[in-house]
Amino acid sequence: MNLKKRHSRATAEVHTSAMNDIMFFLLLFFLIASTVTNPNVIKLMLPKSSSGQSVSKKTITVSVTKELKYYVDKKEVKVDDLNAALAAYKKMATELTIVLFVDRTVAIQNVVQVMDIAQKLNIKLVLATEPK
Any idea which fold 57-127 has? Answer: Nucleotidyltransferase; domain 5 (3.30.420)
d(CA 26, CA 77): 52
Handedness of CA 89, 93, 99, 100 (dihedral sign): positive
User: Largest alpha-carbon pair distance within the chain?
Assistant: 115
Task: Please answer whether residues 93 and 120 qualify as being in contact, where contact means their C-beta atoms are separated by less than 8 angstroms.
Answer: no
Task: Please answer whether residues 70 and 81 qualify as being in contact, where contact means their C-beta atoms are separated by less than 8 angstroms.
Answer: no
**pLDDT reported for residue 54:** 47
**pLDDT reported for residue 78:** 92
pTM > 0.75: yes or no: no
Q: What is the pLDDT along the chain (132 residues), one digit of tens a residue?
A: 566 666 667 777 877 778 888 999 999 998 888 777 655 554 544 556 555 544 457 888 888 888 888 999 888 899 899 999 998 888 887 788 888 888 888 888 988 999 999 999 988 888 887 766
Angle subtended by helix axes 82-92 and 108-120, to nearest 10:
40
